[in-house]
């Protein structure tokens, strides 16, 4: 089985999704897969997150589904139990990083500063989430703070302020393996059952990655 981080690397874009109802899990998974996106991040910003991940994991195993916004041990445990393939957080919490490592669970803590990167590197992290990517300073800022850590082989997923229009600016950075974006599967489209629009946006995002990578 392909490692989730390799799937993310190949795909280049991770839809960051807040979904309110578990009943929408499978239609959402189908919309993403039809649009050519085999990966998703379901955030623990809603009460339905664990049930959504479990439904996707069971009924659409071809979708590499991860858990986002893991802010505490309970969310981490729920994500692992639900079958999440990987996890991410907006910030760095050494206890959560340690617990994920002990469970053998691929996990990317959030960073925004060189101090955050130092802490993540010291904890053994080689994949991090740069958040909030746009407000924090954009691609130029990430390039500057990641340069001193390049020899450690740390990879980055910028999220927050990433759009299809600026996606190429992020993907051209050597440290960036993929970018996280909320525009592909918006909560309002999921709630309204507008899955055709999600498929359209997924296809467009896949095409944008291909253009950015020169494929």
pLDDT on residue 155: 97
pLDDT on residue 130: 98
- Does 86 fall in a domain? yes
Residue 7 reports pLDDT greater than 90: yes
pLDDT on residue 53: 98
pLDDT on residue 140: 97
Residues designated catalytic: 41, 129
- Does 130 fall in a domain? yes
Q: What is the pLDDT of residues 37-77, one digit of tens each?
A: 999 999 999 999 999 999 999 999 999 999 999 999 999 99
pLDDT on residue 61: 97
- Does 184 fall in a domain? yes
Average pLDDT, the chain: 97
Q: What is the pLDDT of residues 131-158, one digit of tens each?
A: 999 999 999 999 999 999 999 999 999 9
- Does 72 fall in a domain? yes
- Does 17 fall in a domain? yes
Q: Domain range holding 83? A: 4-210
Query: Model-level pTM?
Result: 0.96
Cβ neighbors of 163 (< 8 A, separation 6 or more) are 181, 183
What is the CATH classification number for the domain harbouring 187? 3.20.20.70
pLDDT on residue 82: 98
Q: What is the pLDDT of residues 100-130, one digit of tens each?
A: 999 999 999 999 999 999 999 999 999 999 9
pLDDT on residue 84: 98
Query: Could you tell me which of 130, 82, 133, 88 has the C-alpha nearest to residue 108?
Result: 88
Residue 14 reports pLDDT greater than 90: yes
- Does 96 fall in a domain? yes
Q: What is the pLDDT of residues 184-203, one digit of tens each?
A: 999 999 999 999 999 999 99
- Does 29 fall in a domain? yes
The structural domain count of the chain equals: 1
State the average pLDDT over residues 11-26: 98
pLDDT on residue 44: 98
pLDDT on residue 51: 98
- Does 40 fall in a domain? yes
pLDDT on residue 211: 97
């Amino acid at each position: 089985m392909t490692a989730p981080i390799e799937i993310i690397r190949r795909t280049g874009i991770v839809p960051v999704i807040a979904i309110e109802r578990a009943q929408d899990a499978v239609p959402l998974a189908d919309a993403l897969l039809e649009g050519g996106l085999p990966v998703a991040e379901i955030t623990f910003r809603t009460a339905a997150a664990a049930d959504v991940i479990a439904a996707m994991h069971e009924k659409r195993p071809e979708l590499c589904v991860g858990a986002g916004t893991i802010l505490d041990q309970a969310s981490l445990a729920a994500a692992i139990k639900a079958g999440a393939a990987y996890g991410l957080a907006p910030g760095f919490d050494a206890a959560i990083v340690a617990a994920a490592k002990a469970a053998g669970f691929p996990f990317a803590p959030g960073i925004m500063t060189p101090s955050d990167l130092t802490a993540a590197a010291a904890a053994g992290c080689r994949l991090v989430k740069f958040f909030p990517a746009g407000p924090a300073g954009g691609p130029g800022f990430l390039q500057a703070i990641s340069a001193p850590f390049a020899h450690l082989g740390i990879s980055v997923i910028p999220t927050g302020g990433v759009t299809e229009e600026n996606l190429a600016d992020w993907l051209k950075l050597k440290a960036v393996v993929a970018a996280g974006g909320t525009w592909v599967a918006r909560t309002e489209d999921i709630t309204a059952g507008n899955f055709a629009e999600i498929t359209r946006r997924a296809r467009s995002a896949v095409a944008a990655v291909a253009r950015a990578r020169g494929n």
